């Protein structure tokens, strides 16, 4: 199958495979700004398709995608599965709880097993930072990182950028990139791969990023990544265009990081009163799962004109379709993307 570049913005990145020269999608840290824009632009066609009643493409017909999830997931697993199916691929989900991992198989042996099944793309979520990179080294097909420990969650950052782009566009603002936007990420920054990927992605697209957390949940030396660091949530919100809330990742905590959920909510919970101190139109985001009443109040999470949380979920499917499409182009022999494998 051949297809030339369908992007409406083809001039802003190199042609063909040079637009995204990586075999794998392991992290935003591996990507150039134009590569991020390329994936966002590519996703637009899938946003449009997903809004039709017939949502099927045969772009990946005949290909096998394995979703290997060693950690729980709702949105990410479901949206990768839907994305693969909407592109016409055969999609298989492997849950660690039902796999030989529980019988003591090493990650490398699992990778070798997945590879022997001749998957055309492997999507991996794993509790250890760097695990997806390790698997990528052992397999012959593209690997997509669906979250590795506290390291990265690149498709989350891409879908967040796409959701923000759409929300800004609807307000008539130029959303080609986020220059001039001040974005607050508040919560358990220390344990959050979402925070890390978003910091890299939003900065690459020109935004000013403020990170806000209690000292125990703020990584030491994070300023070196160019973020503005706050302990006072009200100060962080002052003049913010967007606030992205993160949950407390208690599954990654050993010991007590906060005095109590109640005190945390008092200091770092996004309440309506607190949001009112920011701008009149500050947008609210959350990657999910939300802990309502802890880091975010229902009143805010469900604000129709301000919260874009469900739009983030919608954009997740489109972004994952774009990533699966782009990363399998070489194997499919798409024109300009190299020889079919």
Q: How many Å is the Cα radius of gyration of the chain?
A: 20
For the CB of residue 192, give the shortest distance to ligand ASP in the complex, in Å: 7
Asked if residue 94 lies in contact with residue 113, where contact means CB atoms within 8 angstroms, the answer is no
Q: Does 127 bind ligand ASP (CB under 6 A)?
A: no
Q: Please give the biggest Cα pair distance in the chain.
A: 58
CA atoms within 13 A on the CB side of 294: 16
Pick between residue 20 and residue 69 the one whose CB is nearest to ligand ASP: 69
For the CB of residue 23, give the shortest distance to ligand ASP in the complex, in Å: 23
Pick between residue 84 and residue 187 the one whose CB is nearest to ligand ASP: 187
CA distance 334 to 337: 6
For the CB of residue 159, give the shortest distance to ligand ASP in the complex, in Å: 11
For the CB of residue 68, give the shortest distance to ligand ASP in the complex, in Å: 15
Q: Which of 147, 149, 219, 316 binds ligand ASP (CB under 6 A)?
A: 147
In the range 175-194, which residues lie near ligand ASP by CB under 6 A? 193-194
What backbone torsions phi and psi does residue 332 show, to the nearest 5 degrees? -90, -5
Distances, alpha carbon 36 to alpha carbons 101, 122, 171, 323, in Å: 33, 20, 22, 11
Pick between residue 19 and residue 245 the one whose CB is nearest to ligand ASP: 245
CA distance 249 to 292: 14
In the range 284-323, which residues lie near ligand ASP by CB under 6 A? 287-288
What backbone torsions phi and psi does residue 299 show, to the nearest 5 degrees? -55, -35
Site track 229-268 with ligand ASP (rule: CB under 6 A), x = hit: ------------------x-x-------------------
Give residues with Cβ within 8 angstroms of 206, minimum separation 6.
177, 178, 179, 180, 181
For the CB of residue 155, give the shortest distance to ligand ASP in the complex, in Å: 10
Pick between residue 30 and residue 249 the one whose CB is nearest to ligand ASP: 249
Pick between residue 158 and residue 175 the one whose CB is nearest to ligand ASP: 158
CA distance 20 to 31: 9
Q: Does 153 bind ligand ASP (CB under 6 A)?
A: yes
For the CB of residue 318, give the shortest distance to ligand ASP in the complex, in Å: 17
Pick between residue 60 and residue 163 the one whose CB is nearest to ligand ASP: 163
Asked if residue 70 lies in contact with residue 94, where contact means CB atoms within 8 angstroms, the answer is no
What are the residues binding ligand ASP (CB under 6 A)? 147, 153, 193-194, 247, 249, 287-288
């Amino acid at each position: 199958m051949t297809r030339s570049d369908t992007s409406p913005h083809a001039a802003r990145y190199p042609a063909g495979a040079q637009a995204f020269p990586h075999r794998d999608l392991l992290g935003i840290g591996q990507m150039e700004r134009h590569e991020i824009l390329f994936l966002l632009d590519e996703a637009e066609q899938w946003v449009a398709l997903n809004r039709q009643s017939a949502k099927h493409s045969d772009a990946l017909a005949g290909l096998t995608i394995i979703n290997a999830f060693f950690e729980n997931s709702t949105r990410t697993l479901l949206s990768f599965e839907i994305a693969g199916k909407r592109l016409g691929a055969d999609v298989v989900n492997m849950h660690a709880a039902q796999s030989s991992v529980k019988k003591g198989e090493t990650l490398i042996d699992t990778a070798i097993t997945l590879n022997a099944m001749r998957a055309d793309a492997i999507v991996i979520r794993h509790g250890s930072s760097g695990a997806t990179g390790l698997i990528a080294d052992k397999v012959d097909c593209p690997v997509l990182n669906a979250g590795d420990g506290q390291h990265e969650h690149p498709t989350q950052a891409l879908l967040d950028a796409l959701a923000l782009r759409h929300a800004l566009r609807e307000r008539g603002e130029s959303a080609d990139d986020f220059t001039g936007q001040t974005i607050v990420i508040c919560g358990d920054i220390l344990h959050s791969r979402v925070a890390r990927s978003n910091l890299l992605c939003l900065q690459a697209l020109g935004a000013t990023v403020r990170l806000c957390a209690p000292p125990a949940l703020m990584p030491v030396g994070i300023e070196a990544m160019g973020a503005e660091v706050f302990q006072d949530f009200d100060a962080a919100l002052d003049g913010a265009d967007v606030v992205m809330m993160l949950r407390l990742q208690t599954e990654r905590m050993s010991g007590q990081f906060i005095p109590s959920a109640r005190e945390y909510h008092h200091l770092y919970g996004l309440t309506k009163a607190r949001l009112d101190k920011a701008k009149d139109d500050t947008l609210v985001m959350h990657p999910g799962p939300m802990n309502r009443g802890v880091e975010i109040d229902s009143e805010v999470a469900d604000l129709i004109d301000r919260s874009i949380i469900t739009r983030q979920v919608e954009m997740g499917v489109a972004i994952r379709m774009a990533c699966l499409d782009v990363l399998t182009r070489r194997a499919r022999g798409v024109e300009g993307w190299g020889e079919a494998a």
